[in-house]
Amino acid sequence: MKKIILSLFVLLPMFLNAAIRTDVTITDLNNNALTQNIERNLSALISELNSAWEEKRNPNWKQCRQWADERTCNSLSMLWENSPFRCSEEEIVEIGMSSYGGEFEVRNLPFIFSSAGRDDYHEAAVTFNNRGVVTSFHMMISTNLYRKVIEAGEDVRDLRQRQMILQNVEEFRTAYEKEDIQYLERIFSEDALIITGKVIKIAPTKENNFQSTKIQYSKQDKKTYLKNLKAVFAANQRIRVNFSDVKVERHPIEEDFYGVTLHQGYSSDRYSDEGYLFLLWDFRDQDNPMIHVRTWQPDTNPFTKQKIKEEDIFSLADCDL
């Protein structure tokens, strides 16, 4: 009996390691060395995140720099600080795709984020350089939305721009979840026009037609917006942003300018809403894309309780370049 008990104690660490190890297999890349590097680095990175979550510790970020670049490790660290996360799959098989800028991307990676006493499921996209080193980790939009945008590409240049837009939109979303003010400072132009809105409760009266809510809008410059956003980040442990629809329009004359309209769901510890987010992206400097306009409006008229009409949604046509 003692030998049996001893054997169980010897085997226990093996079972624990098996439970937190995630092995990734990549298909469709016509480069065996690159495929092997991506598989090794991504498997090791995810498994370290799993181990850290299981052992209730921070990941070994110094070790993570073997598999991911400095910027990505810092990004993962910010995500982890707000919501520790892990992958519950022991094996993942996904397609490797070419991305813009000579990089490669793997999508549909499943993760569970734990924060404020609850778990949230998100899928992530990860990009790699030509050596298989992780260069970006961000929450992704759904596969259907991704295909919708890509398949609408009009030519090779437009297709490449759309890949860039989607990655930047996903990184933009992730910046709010990891409370990355530095990223947002970098992505908004200095003269950005920012219109925010929020749903507030009011006392129903005869004068306001017995409505219980109204939309409060605020026009802000970049400095004011980021100052207010820092206060929001400080007041909330958990912020979640998701996009359930996306429309991308290329400017008919200024081909490096794109209008992106997103149906956004936003929730935090203290507030939630749904509405349309519009972003005017400038890709003249492709290494440093900029947002010149950011607007938000509710998807439902607070007075009629009806969904707003498509022609009433802010779009590229409302921008004077």
Q: What is the pLDDT of residue 272?
A: 87
Query: For 301-317, what is each residue's pLDDT tens digit?
Result: 766 778 888 888 888 98
> How buried is residue 150: exposed, middle or buried, by Cβ count under 10 Å (0-12/13-18/19+)?
middle
Query: For 59-95, what is each residue's pLDDT tens digit?
Result: 999 999 999 999 999 999 999 998 999 999 999 999 9
Q: What is the pLDDT of residue 16?
A: 42
Is the predicted pLDDT of residue 211 greater than 60, yes or no? no
- Give the integer Cα–Cα distance in Å for 91 and 122: 17
- Give the integer Cα–Cα distance in Å for 195 and 221: 9
Cα three-residue angle 174-200-306, rounded to 5 degrees: 85
Query: For 253-281, what is each residue's pLDDT tens digit?
Result: 998 999 999 999 999 888 888 999 999 99
Q: How far apart are the first and last CA of the chain?
A: 81
Mean pLDDT, rounded, for 142-171 = 88
Cα three-residue angle 151-154-157, rounded to 5 degrees: 105
Q: What is the pLDDT of residue 214?
A: 56
Q: What is the pLDDT of residue 312?
A: 85
Mean pLDDT, rounded, for 46-60 = 96
Q: What is the pLDDT of residue 11?
A: 45
pTM of this structure: 0.82
Q: What is the pLDDT of residue 18?
A: 45
- Give the integer Cα–Cα distance in Å for 93 and 23: 9
Query: For 88-121, what is each residue's pLDDT tens digit?
Result: 999 999 999 998 888 999 999 999 998 877 888 9
Kindly report the average pLDDT of the chain as a whole number.
Answer: 87
Query: For 174-195, what is each residue's pLDDT tens digit?
Result: 999 999 999 999 999 999 999 8
Least confident of 60-64, 132-136, 154-158, 237-241: 154-158
- Give the integer Cα–Cα distance in Å for 64 and 76: 10
Judged by DSSP in three states, 247 sits in strand
Which has more confidence, 226 or 205?
A: 226
Identity of the residue numbered 313: I
Q: Domains of the chain (ranges plus CATH)? A: 2-140 (3.10.450), 181-318 (3.10.450.50)
Q: What is the pLDDT of residue 280?
A: 95
Is the predicted pLDDT of residue 21 greater than 80, yes or no? yes
